[in-house]
Structure 1
Amino acid sequence: MRWPFRFGGKWASVPACLSCLLRKFIPLSRPPRILRSLRRLLIGLLLLAIVPTSGNARTGWRTHALVVNSLGGALSAAQDKAFFRPFAAQMGVGILRYVWDGDPRPRSGHAGRAWTVALMEDSTARAACMQGFLLRLGGAPGSADACGVPAMREGIALAWDRGRIPVAPHWSDFWNVVRYPGKRGLRRDPRSTLEIALMADGVAPADVYAVLGTPEGVARAFRKLSQLRPYIEWWTSPAESARIIKNGSVLMTSAAGGEVTAAGTGQRDVGLQWEQSLDNGLSWGVAPDLDRAARDRARSLLHFMAQPEQVARFASLYHAHGDAGSVTPLLMDAAFWHEHLPDLSKRFADWLAAP
């Protein structure tokens, strides 16, 4: 497109005109690379002064957009295709999607963005609800389940490098570093990690929470973890759990099954062992300090995501579990973790910090 500027009797774009003018005033004695960089900088500054911006329009658009926090990786990509893009197109509402750590608690000095709807673990949603960090959507005032809207269940399985271990291992093999030397991946969080430690120590899945609910059971889980401490590579997000097995950083890892499946072939032939896997519930929470219009937009999105056709589309994009009926996973107990997470998180942090 021609801009209404002439230089030397010829039509030219704004940058071209500015470049010609700058050649007249910037000495050519400087090295060519420095000269080009200086000219680009000056052109950019002049364009900012000449070309009007749409800052007010952009600010207004952000003000009326839904800000959605999710957990990143293939999960967020599938949600974007199945939920967010179709909703935005149908409703004419902008959606800004960000990756976050799943913790809605206010933190001192935290510079995070304000959000509208966020995906988090069920145990996190229960605690946040009781502490007033989520909008109460229904239920009794003292209910811990009145805030989170069920989103999905994520399978956590044992992922391993099939190029080095041809037969599917179990959690007991996960601890056998003599027979299977190499790094192991575990989540840097007591949730899922302590359950896995107890199953590796011989506790039946049906008994895990009864054992973990006692001081002796907690001590047993941490003793088991201590046996593996030098070999552990910690992960903090579902996407990272898949990445460390795909790039060969670990021989085996606990991992979000959907992320491993979505990662494709990658650098390794990775298998998933679904026996003694865990099933973790995830929920959507709504920020508590929204105005009425924002709350209505949030509820519209939650309703849209719950429609059967959207649920089916998401399931076709993100395979969070193994073959239906092949195994019975251990359902992660949100009520247990709501009650015990503060104490076990402190115990876990102290264990990590110990020499």
Structure 2
Amino acid sequence: MLEAGGDSGEAVQAAYIEPFQKKTGIRVVRENPTSLGKLKAMVASKNITTPIVLVPRSWLVQAKTENLLEPLDWAAIAPQPITAEAKDSHAIGWSYFSNVMAWRSDVKAPKTWADFWNVADFPGKRSLIDDPSVMLPVALLADGVPMDKLFPLDIDRAFRSLAKIRPHVSVWWTAGSQPPQLLQDKEVAYAMTYSGRVYGKPGISMTYNQGILDLSYFGVPRGATPEQKMAAMQFFHELTVPENQVVAMARIPYSGASANLDKVLAADKAALYPTTAGNAKLQFMNDIEGWKVIAPKVEKRWQQFKLGM
């Protein structure tokens, strides 16, 4: 299995691999990190060394377009109820996470991205992600575009909005560990961050309001043997069991894809996760198919923007 490693890999091990191995006797060997390059290399060489690969939603469309994944046999998976977007033709969604606004608990709390952009009423340095696919819709929210009217993206309006916040951004981060550390070290007052990175961190507050909800998938590389595919389908069933998902969520604070999580989570824990206790309704999911069309043009403009051009 190609997975992300770290806490995520340990959560997969405890919640899904161990129950699968006990039921089937099939040993799962974890490798990390995952990458699109590794998937491409396996498929091109016709040497499928691992039948299960982590597929971030951000490159799921590309992986399907380039015919890198086997279609899933949902009858063989026999899933327990999961969310609609988790049930893809070529991949199964298993873990939701969110990009959210966070802040030091000793500063004024923002409620919206418009507040985050409002440096007069919410003073202090900011840190934002170095990723235009995330930043453009957020910039539009900050400029007053309703969450249900974000797509297709108004690129020019988004960059005008970004120009307003740029002088107040001290770090454009590239690693998820950066924003919580910047907040704890008081190098910034406000930051965009992955929700799981600040979950339970002393001195840091966050909100799911206007967050960017995302989903990680697992798929099977094209060219896997029938035996490999059948074992993968059996493993994918374990991803749909809500009790397994609760085990994973206790280790890393992201939501499983079960449609029934609120029924099995402790009431005092539900509000902490991206999709439970109504949190999903506060957020939006990116238009990954639309992004693929505009990405080459926007990526070039993004680099120019960061250089102040």
Bin of the TM-score, shorter chain as denominator length: 0.7 to 0.9
Contact 2:72-2:233 at 8 Å conserved across structures: no
Distance 1:84 1:245 in 2: 35
Match of 2:27, SS state, is coil
Contact 1:156-1:257 at 8 Å conserved across structures: yes
Match of 1:95, SS state, is coil
Query: Counterpart amino acid of 1:228?
Result: I
1:345 is matched with 299
Query: Which is further off, 127-136 or 230-239?
Result: 230-239
Counterpart selection for 1:325 from 273, 278, 294: 278
Query: Counterpart amino acid of 2:204?
Result: V
CA displacement at 1:171 relative to structure 2 = 1.2
Determine whether 1:254 maps to 2:195.
no
TM-score computed with the length of structure 2 as normaliser: 0.73
Distance 2:35 2:117 in 1: 28
Match of 2:150, SS state, is helix
Contact 1:184-1:232 at 8 Å conserved across structures: yes
The Cα RMSD (Å) is: 3.2
Contact 2:110-2:116 at 8 Å conserved across structures: no
After TM superposition, the structure 1 = structure 2 runs for residues 202-351 of structure 1, keeping only pairs within 5 Å, are 202-210=144-152, 212=153, 217-230=154-167, 231-261=169-199, 264-265=200-201, 268-320=202-254, 321=273, 324-325=277-278, 328-351=282-305
1:160 is matched with 103
Distance 1:162 1:124 in 2: 35
The unaligned stretches of length 5 or more in structure 2 are 42-47, 75-87, 255-272
Distance 1:131 1:92 in 2: 30
Contact 2:39-2:53 at 8 Å conserved across structures: no
Distance 1:101 1:232 in 2: 29
TM-score computed with the length of structure 1 as normaliser: 0.64
Match of 1:324, SS state, is coil
Determine whether 1:137 maps to 2:91.
no
Determine whether 1:176 maps to 2:118.
yes
Distance 1:83 1:324, change over 3 A: same
The unaligned stretches of length 5 or more in structure 1 are 1-66, 108-112, 140-144
CA displacement at 1:83 relative to structure 2 = 1.7
Query: Which is further off, 328-337 or 95-104?
Result: 95-104
Distance 1:87 1:241, change over 3 A: farther
Distance 2:179 2:37 in 1: 19
1:117 is matched with 52
CA displacement at 1:350 relative to structure 2 = 4.2
Pick 1 or 2: higher relative contact order, CA cutoff 8 A, min separation 6: 2
1:3 is matched with none
Distance 2:165 2:53 in 1: 34
Distance 1:182 1:95, change over 3 A: farther
Match of 2:282, SS state, is coil
CA displacement at 1:247 relative to structure 2 = 4.4
Query: Which is further off, 153-162 or 89-98?
Result: 89-98
Distance 1:311 1:259 in 2: 19
Contact 1:185-1:253 at 8 Å conserved across structures: yes
Contact 2:2-2:34 at 8 Å conserved across structures: no
Match of 1:132, SS state, is coil
The count of corresponding residues between Structure 1 and Structure 2 is 269
Distance 1:228 1:284, change over 3 A: same
Distance 1:188 1:80, change over 3 A: farther
Match of 1:288, SS state, is coil
Distance 1:114 1:171, change over 3 A: farther
